[in-house]
Amino acid sequence: MQSVLKSHELHGGTSHEVEAMNSKKIYQQQQQLPEDDEIDLAELWHAIWSGKILIIAISAFFAISSILYAINQPNIYKATTLLSPASEQGGASGLAKMAGQFGGLASLAGINLGGGGTDKTGLALEVLKSRFFIENFINKHQLLVPLMATNNWDINNNTLVFDDEIYNPKTKTWLREVKAPKQPKPSLWEAYVAFKEILSVTTDKESGMVTLAIEHYSPEVATQWLKWLVNDINETMREQDKIEAQDSIDYLTGKLQETQLADMQTVFYQLIEQQTKTIMLAEVSKEYVLKTIDPANAPEEKAKPKRALIVVLGTMLGGILSVLIVLIRYFSKKATTTNLSNDPLITDKSERVSTQQEPSTNSNQTLGKQE
Domain that holds residue 50: 42-73+305-333
Residues 148 and 257 occupy one common structural domain: yes
Specify the range with the lowest mean pLDDT, choosing from 62-66, 246-250, 307-311.
246-250
Question: How confident is the model at residue 370, as a pLDDT?
Answer: 47
For residue 363, tell me if it sits in a domain. Answer: no
The pLDDT of residue 324: 94
Looking at the fold, whether 323 and 237 belong to one and the same domain comes out as no
Nearest-angstrom CA–CA distance, 294 and 277: 29
- Asked whether residue 364 is domain-assigned, the answer is no
CB atoms within 10 A of CB 22: 14
- Whether 20 is covered by a domain: the verdict is no
Lowest-confidence pick of 76-90, 114-128, 190-204, 233-247: 114-128
Q: Crossing angle, helix 344-370 and helix 2-37, to 10 degrees?
A: 150
pLDDT of 35 over the 60 cut: no
pLDDT mean across residues, the chain: 79
Regarding whether 237 and 206 lie in a shared domain, the answer is: yes
What's the confidence (pLDDT) of residue 9?
Answer: 47
Of the pLDDT bands very low, low, confident and very high (cuts 50, 70, 90), residue 290 is: very high
Distance CA 234, CA 326 (A): 62
Q: What per-residue confidence (pLDDT) applies to 367?
A: 41
What's the CATH code of the domain at 151?
Answer: 3.30.1890
Q: Are 309 and 175 contained in the same domain? A: no
Domain co-membership, 170 together with 114: yes
Where is 228: in which H helix or E strand?
A: helix 219-258
Per-residue pLDDT for 227 more than 60? yes
Q: How confident is the model at residue 48 (pLDDT cuts 50, 70, 90)?
A: confident
Helix H or strand E segment including 167 = strand 167-168
Q: Which of 19-33, 67-81, 185-199, 239-253 has the lowest mean pLDDT?
A: 19-33
pLDDT higher than 80, residue 352: no
* Residues 61 and 144 reside in one and the same domain: no
pTM over 0.85: no
Query: Considering its fold, how many domains does the chain have in total?
Result: 2
Mean pLDDT of 121-131: 92
Q: Give the model's pLDDT for residue 139.
A: 95
Q: Is the pLDDT of residue 80 over 70?
A: yes
